[in-house]
Structure 1
Amino acid sequence: MCQSYRKVCACGQNTTEIFFGRMIFDEQVVAKVYCPNCSQNIATDCDNRMWDNGWVLELNMEVVQAHIPVMDIAPEDVTADRIFDEGYVTWVGITPDDHQTREQERNQIQKLAKTDLLAYIQAMKEWGLNREKRFVNEGWRKMRARAIH
Structure 2
Amino acid sequence: MCMEHKITCQCGRSSVGFQFRDQVLPAEAVSSLYCPKCSGDVPFEPQTMLNDNGWIIAFDMEVVRLMKQGLHTNEPTPEYLFDEGYCTWTGMSPTDSEDSIRERSEIIKRAKVDPQQYLHDLKAWGMQRGERLAAEGWRKARDGNSVSA
Output the TM-score relative to the length of structure 1.
0.89
Distance 1:68 1:25 in 2: 8
For 2:59, give the aligned amino acid. Answer: L
Residue 73 of structure 2 corresponds to which residue in structure 1?
73
| Aligned residue number for residue 31 of structure 2 | 31
1: distance between equivalents of 2:28 and 2:20?
Answer: 11
Residues 75-132 of structure 1: CA distance to partner in whole angstroms, max 9, x if unpaired? xx32212211121111111001111101010111111112221221111111101101
Identity %: 34
Q: Which residue of 2 aligns with 1:102?
A: 100
Q: Report the equivalent of 1:45.
A: 45
What SS class does the counterpart of residue 22 from structure 2 fall into? helix
**Contact 2:50–2:79 (CA<8 Å) still a contact in 1?**
yes
Q: How many pairs align? A: 145
Contact 2:135 2:142 in 1 (8 A): no
CA RMSD in angstroms comes to 1.6
Where do 5+ consecutive residues of structure 1 fail to align? none
| Aligned-partner Cα distance in 2 for 1:31–1:95 | 19
Q: Output the CA distance in 2 between the equivalents of 1:26 and 1:68.
A: 12
| TM-score, scaled to structure 2 | 0.89
Q: Which residue does the alignment assign to 2:11?
A: 11
| Conservation of the 8 A alpha-carbon contact between 1:7 and 1:15 | yes
Deviations 1:11-46 (A, max 9, x none): 111121100003301212121111111111111233
- Structure that is richer in helix per residue: 1
* Contact 2:133 2:142 (C-alpha < 8 Å) held by counterparts: no
Q: Is the 8 A contact 2:34 2:56 kept in 1?
A: yes
